[in-house]
Amino acid sequence: MHSFLMSHQPRWQVALEMLALGFILAIVCGSALIYTGAYDVAATRRHWPLTEWLLDTARIRSIKARAVGITPPAGLDDHAKILMGTEHYADHCAVCHGAPGVPKGDIAQGLYPQPPDLAATSKRYTDAELFWIVKHGIKMTGMPGWADHDDDELWATVAFLKMLPGMTPEDYAKLVMQDMSHGRQHHEGHDAQPQPGMVQPPGGTDHDHPAGHQH
Ligand code: HEC
């Protein structure tokens, strides 16, 4: 063993010193990057591909790990559940994610990362994972957590998300109309105002009284 040594210091000690030096250098450079303001936090500037990969991988791994142990309730395919989820989605989600035939709202245009088209991406997740995302939101993105809403309502939103792939604008409008004519339950006071992304019944904006709508 000793015949391999070039200096009087044991090899592990040299390695340890190099490691410590590297560590100190990383801290100095990292601090300089932060304290000089060199890192650009502008939402108009994309991440480097490596940073993007890192954030993406961390997000997906975190969601998958945290959703383990969440069991979806029975009856997510019930039409009543899907209608409840449609209402929740139209009121709270379409403004950022859009909906079939409904473009994203203004707020969503400048967000980075961009709110994805959930018809395309929700298939990547299980029901439990979707529930976790909707309940807790995603840090350092525009995705809010909805933990102050009933779990029942959040599961209904998951029921809606599962129907989203392949849903046509007509299907969506029909669901919204059906929900309205079943009488919208108001969960919050501000629901009285039309929200961006909401489909209004033709011929009027008073969604409490969708007179003349049959389904
Ligand atoms: C203020 C804008 C905003 C609102 C409102 C919003 N989201 Fe999001 N959402 C985002 C953003 C931004 C992301 C992307 C996060 C990322 O890329 O890391 C996201 C991500 C998601 C994802 C993960 C998708 C993926 O591809 O990984 C799901 C699922 C989701 N949102 C569902 C919802 C639901 C359901 C609602 C309504 C209850 C909602 N969002 C409301 C901005 C929003």
Pair 75, 173 in one domain: yes
Rounded to whole angstroms, how far apart are CA atoms 197 and 91?
Answer: 8
pLDDT at 171: 97
| 195 in a structural domain | no
Residue 114 is part of which domain span? 50-186
Is the same domain home to 81 and 181? yes
pLDDT of residue 176: 96
- Residue 181, ligand 1, Cβ within 6 A: no
34 and 89 housed in the same domain: no
- Quick check: 146 pLDDT over 70? yes
In this predicted structure, what is the pLDDT of residue 192?
45
CB 171 within 8 A of CB 191: no
Q: Which of 29-43, 120-134, 149-163, 176-190 comes out lowest in average pLDDT?
A: 176-190
- What pLDDT score was predicted for residue 99? 97
- Number of domains making up the chain: 2
The reply to whether ligand 1 has any atom less than 6 angstroms from the CB of 111 is: yes
- Note whether 28 and 69 are same-domain residues: no
Same-domain pairing of 114 and 180? yes
Give the alpha-carbon dihedral of 116, 176, 163, 124, to 10 degrees. Answer: 20
**C-beta 122 within 6 A of ligand 1:** yes
Same domain, 20 and 84: no
Following DSSP, what letter does each residue of 120-140 receive, concatenated?
Answer: HHGGGS-HHHHHHHHHH--TT
21 and 72, same domain (yes or no): no
pLDDT recorded at residue 181: 86
pLDDT at 215: 38
Q: Is residue 200 part of a domain?
A: no
97 lines ligand 1 (CB under 6 A): yes
Q: Is 215 among the domain residues?
A: no
User: Quick one: pLDDT band at residue 182, thresholds 50, 70, 90?
Assistant: confident
- For a substitution probing ligand 1, which of 60, 96, 122, 187 has the most ligand atoms within 8 Å of its CB? 96
Whether residue 191 lies inside any domain: the answer is no
| Residues 207, 196: Cα–Cα separation, whole Å | 14
Instruction: Kindly state whether residue 164 falls inside one of the protein's structural domains.
Output: yes
Rounded distance from Cα 72 to ligand 1 centre (Å): 20
Residue nearest to atom 11 of ligand 1 (CA): 115
Do residues 15 and 116 share a domain? no
Spacing, Cα 184 to ligand 1 middle (Å):
23
| Domain containing residue 110: CATH number | 1.10.760.10
With the C-alpha atoms ordered 183, 187, 188, 190, is the resulting torsion angle positive or negative?
A: negative
Residue 106 is predicted with a pLDDT of 93
Q: How far apart are CA 104 and CA 94, in angstroms?
A: 6
Task: Please give the single-letter amino acid code of residue 181.
Answer: S
- Does residue 31 sit in the same domain as residue 101? no
Q: Of ligand 1's atoms, which has the minimum distance to the CA of residue 142?
A: 12
Q: Check whether residue 60 and residue 127 sit in a common domain.
A: yes
Structural contact between residues 115 and 143, judged by C-beta atoms closer than 8 angstroms: yes
Q: Do residue 141 and residue 93 come from a single domain? A: yes
**Which token pair is 11?**
């090899």
Residue 143 tokens read as: 């995705």
Do the domain assignments include residue 197?
no
Residue 13, domain member (yes or no): yes
